[in-house]
Amino acid sequence: MNDYTFLSPTRLIVGKEAEKETGKWIKEFGGTCVLVHHDSGFIKQNGFVDKMINMLKEDGLKVVELGGVVSNPHLSKVYEGIELCRKEGVDFLLAIGGGSVIDSTKAIAMGLPYAGDVWDFFIEEDGIPHDVPKKSTPLGVILTIAATGSECSNSCVITKADENLKRFCDDDINRAKFAIENPELTMTLPSFQTACGIIDIMSHSMERYFTPEKENDILTDYLCEAIFHTCMDCARILMKEPDNYEARASIMVASSLSHNGLTGMGRTGDWASHFIEHELSGEFQTVTHGAGLAVVTPAWMRYVYKDNMDKFVKWATRVMGVSMDYTNPEYTVLEAIDRLEDFFKHLNVPTKLAECPGVGNIDDETLYRMARRVRVVHDDGTVGWVKRLTTEDIVNIFKLAM
Amino acid sequence: MNDYTFLSPTRLIVGKEAEKETGKWIKEFGGTCVLVHHDSGFIKQNGFVDKMINMLKEDGLKVVELGGVVSNPHLSKVYEGIELCRKEGVDFLLAIGGGSVIDSTKAIAMGLPYAGDVWDFFIEEDGIPHDVPKKSTPLGVILTIAATGSECSNSCVITKADENLKRFCDDDINRAKFAIENPELTMTLPSFQTACGIIDIMSHSMERYFTPEKENDILTDYLCEAIFHTCMDCARILMKEPDNYEARASIMVASSLSHNGLTGMGRTGDWASHFIEHELSGEFQTVTHGAGLAVVTPAWMRYVYKDNMDKFVKWATRVMGVSMDYTNPEYTVLEAIDRLEDFFKHLNVPTKLAECPGVGNIDDETLYRMARRVRVVHDDGTVGWVKRLTTEDIVNIFKLAM
């Protein structure tokens, strides 16, 4: 077990009509003038955003609205938000939405009290960031989709669209004060989005479960497994009953716990599947992140499992319910990976590259271009920890996913 | 699932020599003059407290020391602490120890900025507390035994010894700013104390797992099970290898997660076993809390399981590894309870009243006296939620434990 610090100070407020408490909690954190930040999709069109704005006004709060957040939220929108907040005297930020909206809100929150350019927190030279945030503006979240876990994470990802730069700023200062989680808000999500969200949640803990360490702490493995079982049980329920309240609630809170650090305590996460997928959905905008993970993860597993057999056997037997084959432990693992793939298929997401919309057969040139773009983690130019993957390895993984 | 709020803002700092960071974190929370509060047992005698005091002084902090905390910490010591802190200008409290020391520290922290009598927060009339804490003093913990989970809980239990009153003040204001958890500090604990701690940790999640609700949220059940599996795996390891670092670390963090609210999200905990045990160890001071739980819990289970068969079957099959007997599901549950009792026996703790030191055969008068003293939860004078237990029920449970 590695030494570690765990902090997850975000208050979860979970339940039917939980959003009615929003004004109370904003005032608890000193808010008087609130930026309501959202995308302009379903929750705006169905009137939920307007309902919330009216509710906050009735609670005596001044409200400023900013919509139009896109997937892979843009730095330009962050600048727009900062300017608007300064003009209006905003002292609290409320994100209504999922990961993109929350990340955009986090960036505005950091930029608001900062004299320089907020992008300084996202870019680095020789591994050293241009600047580190020392202050932020309090922010809260009304979650409308269970997926990224940004509502409880310390992470913020922003894209500078004109240079096609997607950059991270991971800092505890980014943590939301509260996350309002009303499971009913997620019941109208299309089944494909529900499925992709669940896969993303599972993946956040799989990246932390499969580690290079031979001795992991016992507790963290069981916590990861709690997330896996929850995701698989709830997915099966929600494919049949999209409005099952218990399953919606469990998935929503699982999204928060799967990425707040709890399932990574004491270990080095791998994250290769995530970084490889980012380039896949970066190259093919038609690929949703969760669907891309369903393609990349089983291929990655087949490529690397021999490098930590003990952990893959544990997963196969304890999570995927495969009987241990003591003569051929590898068969146990391979059967488990097949079952994972079958599970993804059952969710009606693609599990092969060729099945992804807009992808088809990819030529080697494209494979290498994507592989070369994958975020480098180690000094030797490789990525991942279970197995340190070279560009050639990544191409092989893509080929296994064909 | 019930609506709920979950908050656990305490920063966990886990690892070898984690205590070296104490001064840094105290200063992070504005501390300049620190009360170091502890019992006068092993950690004082082996020089750890003095080592910490010197370390904090080297970090430029003023240090005031207060020892002598006893089990079931006394209000008189709390008063002494408040007076001392006022005299010395203390602005941060550091608890070094386990549950008793931490609770004593929490009470001092609440009393310090309060003009009235801190006991006002603990006593109530007609269910209304005399006063509610609005402010507290920042406090941190260096944990030396994994058991009560007070390092992350909102709970504080203090005893007014002259009137033999044990009272609670549960409030989020009690949450520690940080908990330093160095697993090596717990390696020298006697095996009996290690075992009792583990049983207490398991029990904090069992009280939350076994609920009256028929539909529990899926995630919380799996999180409880993660705690159960961790406790059982680690107990088996530690009985053989008391200095197994991974197991010590997992148990230590499990103590924090088992009582910070995580395993109770969305449900009503039962707590009858705890309340019954409090009267057992109250009557017989020779009974340790964890050992008392090992006696009471299996008897309670045998008495109430029919009131939530589904949950007991889930526990039997998923946690205790019993094969489902579809013809006689009750046999599945009874086998699991036997296994739990065997597990406790394997830890060398008593599982029957007669085996408890200083108890022997109890007469009916004593049984009824204890049963009548058990904390009442419902208006009809009963306790517990899976089954609402009358005095007669509690006596029956004691008799099952004989």
Contact B225 A226 (CB under 8 A): yes
| ipTM attached to this prediction | 0.96
d(CA B273, CA B303): 11
Contact B250 A8 (CB under 8 A): no
Angle at B164 between CA B162 and CA B165, to 5 degrees: 110
Q: Does A16 touch chain B (CB under 8 A)?
A: yes
Contact B8 A4 (CB under 8 A): no
DSSP-derived 3-state class of residue A147: coil
Average pLDDT, chain A: 95
Please check whether residues B275 and B382 belong to one and the same domain.
Answer: yes
**What is the predicted pLDDT for the residue at A214?**
74
Contact A234 B218 (CB under 8 A): yes
pLDDT of residue B214 exceeding 80: no
By residue range, what is the domain housing residue B106?
A: 11-185
Please check whether residues B255 and B116 belong to one and the same domain.
Answer: no
Kindly report the CATH number assigned to the domain that includes residue B294: 1.20.1090.10
Domain limit, last residue, from A185, A217, A243: A185
Are B61 and B27 in contact, with CB atoms under 8 Å apart? yes
d(CA A350, CA A344): 8
Provide the residue type at A317 as one letter.
Answer: T
Q: Does B1 touch chain A (CB under 8 A)?
A: yes
Min distance A319 CA to chain B CA atoms (Å): 12
* Total tally of structural domains belonging to chain B: 2
Q: pTM of the prediction?
A: 0.96
Are A145 and A254 in contact, with CB atoms under 8 Å apart? no
DSSP-derived 3-state class of residue B206: helix
Buried b (16+ CB within 10 A) or exposed e, A25-61: bbbeeebeebbbbbbeeebbeeebbeebbeebeeeeb
Confidence class for position A94, pLDDT limits 50, 70, 90: very high
Dump pLDDT digits (tens) for B54-71: 999 999 999 999 999 998
| Inside any domain, residue B3 | no
Please check whether residues A173 and A232 belong to one and the same domain.
Answer: no
| Inside any domain, residue A6 | no
Residues 191-230 of A with CB under 8 A from B: 215-220, 222-223, 225-227, 229-230
Range from A36-40, A106-110, A358-362 carrying the lowest mean pLDDT: A358-362
pLDDT of residue A127 exceeding 80: no
Domain limit, last residue, from A162, A185, A208: A185
Please check whether residues A140 and A37 belong to one and the same domain.
Answer: yes
**What is the predicted pLDDT for the residue at A124?**
86
Reading the block at residue A6, the tokens are 């765990």
Tokens 């320089």, residue located: A116
| Inside any domain, residue B6 | no
Contact B246 A1 (CB under 8 A): yes
pLDDT of residue B282 exceeding 90: no
Tokens 């955009």, residue located: A104
What's the start-to-end Cα distance of chain A, in Å?
36
Q: Does A233 touch chain B (CB under 8 A)?
A: yes
Average pLDDT, chain B: 95
Q: Alpha carbon of B136 to those of A379, B84, B116, B357: distances in Å?
A: 47, 16, 13, 40
Between B4, B226, B247, which is nearest A222 by CB? Answer: B226
Dump pLDDT digits (tens) for B299-355: 999 999 999 999 999 999 999 999 999 999 999 999 999 999 999 999 999 999 999
Residue of B nearest to A183 (CA): B3
B212 class by beta-carbon count within 10 Å (0-12 exposed, 13-18 middle, 19+ buried): middle
Average pLDDT value for residue range A371-392: 94
Tokens 């990961």, residue located: A99
Q: From chain B, pick out residues whose CB is under 8 angstroms from the CB of A266.
A: 14, 249
Kindly report the CATH number assigned to the domain that includes residue B166: 3.40.50.1970
Dump pLDDT digits (tens) for A279-325: 998 889 889 999 999 999 999 999 999 999 999 999 999 999 999 99
Positions of E strands within B257-351: none
Residue of B nearest to A10 (CA): B7
Dump pLDDT digits (tens) for A42-84: 999 999 999 999 999 999 999 999 999 998 899 999 999 999 9
Dump pLDDT digits (tens) for A348-370: 999 999 999 999 889 999 999 99
Min distance B200 CA to chain A CA atoms (Å): 16
DSSP A150-190: TTT-S--EEEEGGGTEEEE---GGG--SEEEE-GGGGTTS-
Please check whether residues A24 and A86 belong to one and the same domain.
Answer: yes
**What is the predicted pLDDT for the residue at A343?**
98
